[in-house]
Amino acid sequence: MSSKEYILQTAVTLFSKQGFSGMSMRDLAKSVNMSTSAVYHHFPNKQALYLDAVHFAFAKQASAFDEVWQAELAADEKLSRFVSCLVRVLSTDVDFRRLMQRELLDADDGRMQLLAKEVFQEQFCHLMAVIEQLSESRQVHFSALSVIALVCDIIQMQPLSRHLPGWQAEHEQLDFIAEHVLNLLMNGIKSKG
């Protein structure tokens, strides 16, 4: 792993735990045992570091999503594989999930625009194209957003869910979550809305 990759990996963890405002370049330099100037050698400012860190965190997972979109499959199978992939990513990459949750809570408009354009736009457009093939609805953007939100919220709610009535251990199995979400989606997406 190069020193730049090590800095990025550490930055993802720090941003996910402390947020953009809470993490300083000095904190990062200390965490990677480098001088602050050495960190600035790789990244001209915190904003550039942040964007590269999010790209780095997402790039680890992007190839799995790309396989879904590039496969010669029917739209419903692509949606199924996307949901399974998203469930796996959000369940296993805690730093990435925490980073996204923190950013949504902070809701800094400038960073949201950067994330939308630089990191998530391509994947979101692929998802909208699949939903458009499955639905008669004109609300393709909102339907795509709902797919992502449903998966994110189920994963995010797991620590609370296991203490609520009716919880079963299978509710935390990745295949169970993906299948359940897909069933909800297919019943809702195929209806007019």
- 61: phi then psi, degrees, rounded to nearest 5: -105, -20
pLDDT, tens only, 16-43 = 888 888 899 999 999 999 999 989 999 9
Digit-coded pLDDT (tens) for 119-178? 789 999 999 999 999 887 788 999 999 999 999 999 989 999 999 999 999 999 999 999
- Percent of the chain whose pLDDT exceeds 90: 50
Q: Which two tokens stand for residue 36?
A: 């602050």
- Work out the angle between the directed axes of helices 75-92 and 46-70 (0-180°, nearest 10): 140
Give the global pTM.
Answer: 0.81
pLDDT band, very low/low/confident/very high, at 193 (cuts 50, 70, 90) = very low
Given this model, what pLDDT does residue 190 score?
Answer: 58
* CATH code for the domain in which residue 86 is found: 1.10.357.10
Q: Is 153 helix (H, G, I), strand (E, B) or coil?
A: helix
- Kindly report the average pLDDT of the chain as a whole number: 88
User: Domain count of the chain?
Assistant: 1
Residue 174 burial (CB count, 10 A): 14
Which SS3 state, helix, strand or coil, does residue 118 take? helix
How far apart CA 74 and CA 99 sit, in angstroms, is 32
Residue range(s) defining the domain that contains residue 120: 3-189
Rg (the chain; Cα; Å): 18
